[in-house]
Amino acid sequence: MNWRPRLVALDIDGTITREGHEEVAPAVRAAIGRAVADGAHVVLSTGRSLIGTRPVVDDLGLRDTTAICSNGAVWWDTATRAVVRKLEFDPAPTVAALRELFPGAVFATEVTGHGNLAHGRFPDGDLWGVVREVPLAELTAEPTSRLVMRWIDRTPDEVRLRMADVELPGVAWTVDNREPWVTAVPAGVTKGSALEDLRQRLGVAARNTLAVGDGHNDVEMLRWAAHGVAMGQAPATVRAAADAVTGTVLEDGAAAVLDRYFAA
C-alpha cells in the first residue's frame, strides 16, 4: 500500500493501553516508534487529563508533537512541556443538572497539570494527580477544562439511559463505555475539532490523516480522519462511525493498523 498517513491520532485507554494497565504493549510501542521514525506526526488524543497523559507521552518518548488531552480542551507541547491551549467552562450549571439526574454521584473538576478538586469520594485510581475533596461551592467556583461525574455502584448502561435525551447547555459531554462515568468539556470541543485545528496548523493534508480509538468520545475523531479505525472491542456505535475495525486491545489491534503503513 502506497498511502501513508502523516498525522496519526491515537486514543490511549483501550487503544494503546489495556484495561487497568498504564503500560503500552510492546507490539504497539514498536509500531508507534516506526511511525515516528517515518516522519509521521503521532498525536495522543485522549479523554485523560494532562497529568494522566504525560507519563504515557514520556514512556513512548514522543517529542516535537502535541498531546491532546481532556477530549480536546487541553493541548500540551511535548517539546517545551508547556500547555499551549486550554479551553474552560463554568461547571456550576452542569453539576446542578447532573446532581438532579444522578443522586449520590461524585464529581471532580480538573486542575490542569496538578490534579482534581473532588466533591465526594472517588474509587482509588479513578483520578490522576493530587485530589482534594472540597465542598460543592468550591468545586464550582472556578472555570475548568474538564468535569467528570461517576455514579457510584451503577453501570455505564444505566448512565447512558438517563443521559439519552439530556441537553447540557455550554458543554459537550460523553459517557464512558467501560465505567459509569460522564465527562464534560466546553461546548464545541471534541477530539475531532481539536485534531482539525492541529492538522491545519501542521499543514497536513486532510487526506493524510489516520485515527484509532475505542470509545464514545472517539466518534468525532474517527469521523474526522481520512481513515478512522475502531478497536475490536469498541461499542457498535463507535464501530459504525469508523471506516474499518481492527483487533481488540488484547490482540494489539492498534499495532496491526500501524503495521499496514509503517512495516518493520
Task: Tell which residue, 173, 158, 156, has the closest CA to residue 220.
Answer: 173
Q: 163-175 pLDDT, tens per residue?
A: 998 989 899 999 9
The boundaries of every CATH 3.40.50.1000 domain in the chain are: 7-85+189-261
pLDDT at 261: 96
* Percentage, residues of the chain above pLDDT 70: 99
pLDDT of 89 higher than 90 = yes
Quote the CA–CA distance of 5 and 133 in Å, as a whole number: 44
- What does the pLDDT read at residue 264? 74
| Per-residue model confidence (pLDDT) at position 2 | 83
Mean pLDDT of the chain: 96
Q: Does domain 7-85+189-261 have CATH number 3.40.50.1000?
A: yes
This prediction has a pTM of 0.94
Q: What is the pLDDT of residue 21?
A: 74
For 189-211, write each residue's pLDDT tens digit: 999 999 999 999 999 999 999 99
The whole-number average pLDDT for the span 11-36 is 92
Three-state DSSP class for residue 116: strand
Q: How confident is the model at residue 26 (pLDDT cuts 50, 70, 90)?
A: very high
Q: Residue 263 has what pLDDT? A: 86
- Residue 20: the pLDDT is 64
Give dist(CA 119, CA 108) in Å, integer: 6
Q: What does the pLDDT look like over 179-189, one tens digit per residue?
A: 999 999 999 99
pLDDT of residue 22: 81
C-alpha distances in angstroms, 196 versus 7, 56, 211, 222, 249? 10, 23, 12, 12, 26
Where in the chain do CATH 3.30.1240.10 domains reside? 92-186
For the cut 80, the answer to whether the pLDDT of residue 1 exceeds it is: no
d(CA 98, CA 39): 44
- Rounded to an integer, what distance in angstroms lies between the CA atom of residue 107 and that of residue 118? 6
pLDDT of 232: 97
> Which residues does residue 241 pair with via DSSP β-bridges, in sequence order?
none
Contacts for 155-159: CB closer than 8 Å, 24+ residues apart: 155/180, 156/180, 156/181, 159/102
Give the CATH number of domain 92-186.
Answer: 3.30.1240.10
Per-residue b/e over 228-243, b at no fewer than 16 CB within 10 Å?
bbbbbbbbeebbebbe
Beta strand 115-119 with 130-133: parallel, antiparallel or unpaired? parallel
